[in-house]
């Protein structure tokens, strides 16, 4: 008879997270984490069923441009942007000098992402990412990667992984960085020894500018995007060429797109259509529009940021938006 004392006890880090034990083994093998500590950590993770409901039906999914625009081009967003700009003018000026990114663009991104810090999300990021990594198969691989990045981030920042808070999808702080973006692009812009995108607007401002410059190759004082008039339908063959500018403006002009005289004909562009109330309108995006799409790959998002930025700048100058 085999003594029960000799039978190994099989432990599960968290029965609500199928596959988490394999994940723990990977983190232990690849990155040298302590297995016991990870088991203890995941035992404290809480699965959030409401996250699974929300991610299956994001509020802005499928909205046409004229409806999407109204979410962000509001008096509250514009006036809040003016107030944020005035309160953080020195940091925004520094970001423009260091990275070349216009202050209004940085302000608008923070407005769209978190309403200037008013809506940063109240979930523990460990809970959000664990729920999605192990309970949402359609994007499980992506969220497991983000969970890995979060644990590495916590180790680098010398923080408890349960400390970080964010959105239902794991985006964090005023600028809603995912953990991989935080590790790559968040900076300590005020040199106080911490990269704090939750409570420190200066670090948030510097981190947005660093992201746009390093990942998006932002071009200082260059155009972003413009709606254009078109003749005929030849332009439609350029709609599926991707978001990265690759089409010479001269070719677009030959296809019936009326290029503004203020734009150099030597530039490259991408072509989109956005749905207005009266029908689709053609939009051409330049390198800086693509930089905004590196932050969020939706042309609607990029255009909302750009239009909000312009509205904030006009309001700051004392003119009606």
Q: What residues in the chain have per-residue pLDDT under 70?
A: 1-11, 58-61, 319-321
Q: Which two tokens stand for residue 283?
A: 């939009």
Dump pLDDT digits (tens) for 178-197: 999 999 999 999 999 999 99
86 vs 93: CA distance, rounded Å: 11
The pLDDT value given to residue 60: 57
> What is the Cα–Cα distance from 321 to 316, expressed in whole angstroms?
10
What residue spans of the chain are helical by DSSP H?
Answer: 20-31, 35-43, 49-55, 65-72, 75-87, 89-99, 103-114, 125-135, 140-157, 179-185, 201-214, 249-254, 287-295, 299-316
DSSP 63-117: --HHHHHHHHSSHHHHHHHHHHHHHTHHHHHHHHHHH---HHHHHHHHHHHHTTT
Measure CA 54 to chain center. Answer: 18
What global pTM score does this model have? 0.93
The SS3 assignment for 165 reads strand
Using alpha carbons only, give the angle 240, 178, 286 rounded to the nearest 5 degrees. 35
Measured distance CA(305)–CA(291) in Å, rounded:
11
Q: According to the model, what pLDDT value does residue 266 have?
A: 85
Known catalytic residue at 156:
no
Q: Which residues touch 213 (CB under 8 Å, ≥6 apart)?
A: 99, 100, 101
Catalytic residue among 113, 156, 275, 307: 113
pLDDT for 261 equals 87
Per-residue tokens: 243: 């978001």
Task: Count CA within 13 A, CB hemisphere, residue 303.
Answer: 26
pLDDT at 74: 98
Query: Rounded to whole angstroms, how far apart are CA atoms 168 and 306?
Result: 25
Provide CB contacts within 8 A for 129, sequence distance 6+. Answer: 143, 146, 147, 150, 170, 179
Structure tokens at 278: 């009266």
Residue 59: per-residue pLDDT: 60
């Amino acid at each position: 008879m085999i003594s029960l004392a000799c039978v190994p006890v099989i432990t599960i880090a968290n029965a609500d997270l199928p596959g988490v034990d394999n994940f723990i083994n990977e983190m232990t093998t690849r990155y040298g984490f302590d297995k016991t500590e990870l088991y203890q950590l995941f035992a404290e993770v809480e699965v959030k069923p409401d996250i699974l409901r929300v991610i299956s039906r994001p509020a802005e999914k499928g909205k046409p441009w004229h409806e999407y625009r109204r979410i962000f081009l509001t008096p509250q967003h514009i006036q809040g942007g003016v107030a944020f700009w005035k309160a953080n003018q020195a940091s925004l000026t520094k970001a423009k000098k260091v990275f070349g990114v216009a202050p209004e663009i940085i302000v608008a991104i923070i407005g769209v992402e978190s309403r200037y810090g008013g809506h940063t999300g109240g979930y523990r990021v460990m809970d959000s990412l664990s729920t999605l990594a192990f309970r949402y198969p359609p994007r499980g691989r992506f969220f497991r990667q983000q969970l890995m990045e979060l644990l590495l981030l916590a180790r680098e920042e010398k923080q408890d992984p349960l400390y970080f808070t964010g959105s239902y999808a794991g985006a964090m702080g005023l600028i809603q960085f995912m953990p991989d973006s935080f590790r790559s692009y968040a900076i300590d812009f005020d040199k106080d020894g911490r990269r704090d995108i939750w409570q420190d607007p200066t670090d948030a401002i510097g981190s947005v500018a660093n992201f746009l410059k390093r990942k998006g190759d932002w071009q200082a004082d260059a155009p972003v995007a413009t709606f254009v008039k078109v003749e005929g339908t030849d332009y439609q063959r350029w709609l599926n060429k991707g978001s990265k500018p690759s089409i010479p403006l001269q070719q677009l002009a030959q296809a019936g797109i009326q290029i503004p005289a203020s734009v150099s004909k030597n530039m490259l562009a991408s072509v989109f259509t956005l749905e207005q109330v009266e029908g689709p309108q053609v939009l051409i995006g330049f390198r800086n529009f693509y930089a905004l799409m590196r932050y969020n790959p939706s042309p609607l998002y990029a255009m909302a940021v750009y239009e909000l930025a312009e509205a904030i700048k006009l309001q700051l100058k004392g003119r009606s938006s």
